[in-house]
Amino acid sequence: MRIMDVLTEEPHPPGDEVGEAEPVRTSRVRVLTAAALGPLVTGYTAVATVLVLAALTAGRAAFSDTGVLLAAGPGWLAAHQVRLGIGGHPLGMLPLLPTLGAVALAARTASGAARRLGCRSFREARPVLITITGAHAVFGLAVALRAHGSAVTANPVTAFVVPGLLAAAAATAGVIRSCGLPDAVAERFDPLALRGLRVGAMSLAVLVACGAAVFTVATAVSWATVTDTYEPGLGTSSGLFLLSLLYLPNAVTAALSFITGPGFSIGPLSVGMFGYHGGPVPAVPLLGGLPEHHAAWWPALLVLPAAAGVLAGWSLRKVDADPAQRIRAVAVAGAVVALGCVVLGTLSGGRLGDGPFDPVSVPVGVASVVAFCWIVIPGSFVAFFAGEHEPPAPPPEALEDNEAFQDAEDVDPEEAAEAVEELEAAGESSEEDEEIAAENAAFEAEADAELGLAEPLEEGPEPDGAVTGGTETCGDVEPDDGDR
């Protein structure tokens, strides 16, 4: 039990400790059970509701409660991106809108469960993460086993792994929102990298918004074609509208790949910024804005991803005084965008039966590399030139060892100039002294030669009356002018 829990808990009579521990354990089990079953029941109910609406609006469809409940199982798997088989034909292009709803539901459930349990760290919230992940994986496996032998089937292994991974990612995001990053991750990420992650998420959102804007404009311009795809009758029109709504994020992802350059393909149809190859298109209102031929002005749309890169660099221009560190943060943002493009491109495409529109794909590898370059190249340019360029300050040890740096702010410029002049004068005087000493040495050597001294006299006292070479010396005698 934590110290704060001990200090804030209400007093209870002695001998009641066992009675208090059991309600706490029961409450914990209740919260984990609700976290495990809540997303499953809510998601399954949402899928069943959509199927009921489709059955009610269909003209000749026979409504059956049991049939809708059984069909909601494969629909739940499709919402969690599990590839299905319909009558032996593969269906891998699944709608992204239900997937986004399932991810948001799992994340919100994990965040609420962690708060109700009072989790203050990621380690304390691990039971919530394990519970939600395990429940989704087991439920997906059960649905796949139940659908075995029916018209709509799924691989049990895929039905176990994919919903579990999707729920794990969503629950992790929810737990991080409530309890923060895990300690092992928080210790390895510096503030610069975290800032790059945030800017990368923002840049990905900007690119998605640009793709949505281009898709909206194309649909609005081709509105006559869009309305022609609707068939008379409420049931058929509502079904086409519902189908277009569920696949709307897929279309936005394809538009995102188009504005960055690589484009997308639907069967033989290929639409790219610098190339176009025609082909048949499904009669769905969602695809009414597809072009019929290449246009010369399409490369002008490349200004949109370039603007996203400029915005990323501008957001990171003050993150550090060192330009190299700013460029590193921009590279982190570009990596986040590239990873996001890989995830979105992978989930947006897939097999579409064995017909003329199979497969629907986005070149994930090329799209991720191109998106990375759109963020890093203009972003690094802006972050480098729009930020600070002052040289780094000297280390504190250098300032402590050098007194000139310590007193630099207190020195008057005039006093410094006078000190320089004094040093120069001192240098000139020392040169003059050396010249005078050299002249004296030459004078003494000439005097010794005139007196007939072969070698200079050794220093030291000489005895009185000592005679050397016929000349009497008494101590140190300086020759006068007469001797010369």
Q: Which helix (H) or strand (E) holds 91?
A: strand 89-91
Report which of 242, 295, 240 is spatially closest to residue 273, judged by C-alpha positions.
295
Q: Which residue has the higher pLDDT, 179 or 206?
A: 206
Rounded distance between C-alpha atoms, residue 112 and residue 42, angstroms: 15
CB atoms within 10 A of CB 248: 16
> What is the reported pLDDT for 317?
93
Q: Quick: pLDDT tens for 6-52.
A: 333 444 444 444 444 455 566 889 999 999 999 999 999 999 998 88
pLDDT tops 50 at residue 190: yes
At 221-238, the pLDDT tens digits run 999 888 888 776 656 678
277: helix, strand or coil: strand
Q: Which two tokens stand for residue 125?
A: 């919230």
Where b means 16+ CB within 10 Å and e means fewer, 313-343 reads: bbbbbebbeebebbbbbbbbbbbbbbebbbe
Q: With CA atoms as reference, report the closest residue to 128 among 239, 27, 33, 3.
A: 33
The mean pLDDT of 188-200, rounded to a whole number, is: 90
Report the pLDDT value the prediction gives residue 7, as an integer from 0 to 100.
Answer: 31
- Using the structure block, give the residue that is written with the tokens 């292009």: 93
DSSP letter (8 states) at residue 408 = G
Asked if residues 174 and 110 have their Cβ atoms less than 8 Å apart, the reply is yes
Q: Span 392-402, mean pLDDT?
A: 54
User: Distance (Å, rounded) from C-alpha 18 to C-alpha 20?
Assistant: 5
pLDDT higher at 145 or 19:
145
Q: What is the pLDDT of residue 162?
A: 97
Kindly report the pTM of this predicted structure. Answer: 0.75
Band of pLDDT at residue 244, cut at 50, 70 and 90: very high
404 to 399, 407, 418, 456: CA distances (angstroms): 8, 5, 16, 49
CB neighbourhood size of 468 (10 A) = 11
For the chain, the average pLDDT equals: 81
Mean local confidence (pLDDT), 319-336: 94
Strand partners, 264: 271
Helix (H, G, I), strand (E, B) or coil at 116: helix
SS (H, E, C) 228-252: HHCCCCHHHHHHHHHHHHHCHHHHH
CA distance 158 to 83: 8
| 342, pLDDT greater than 90 | yes
Contact between residue 243 and residue 283 where contact means Cβ atoms under 8 Å apart: no
- Provide the pairing of β-strand 89-91 with 152-154: unpaired
pLDDT at position 2 is 40
Contacts of 309 (CB under 8 A, 6+ apart): 203, 374, 375, 376, 377, 378, 379, 382
DSSP string, 285-299: GGGTT--SS--TTGG
Handedness of CA 149, 153, 157, 159 (dihedral sign): negative
Q: Identify the CA nearest to 128 among candidates 115, 140, 144.
A: 115
What the block records as the tokens of 347 is 């989930």
Give residue-wise pLDDT tens across range 115-127: 999 998 888 999 9
Could you give phi then psi for residue 92, rounded to 5 degrees? -110, -20
pLDDT band (50, 70, 90) for residue 410: low
CA 199 to chain centre: 7
> Taking CA 160 as the corner, what is the angle to CA 158 and CA 163, rounded to the nearest 5 degrees?
90
- Any residues with CB less than 8 A from the CB of 481 and at least 6 apart, and which? none
**Which has the closest alpha carbon to 43: 128, 167, 158?**
167
* pLDDT tens digit sequence for 268-300: 999 999 999 988 888 889 999 999 899 999 999
Give me 70's structure tokens.
């059984």
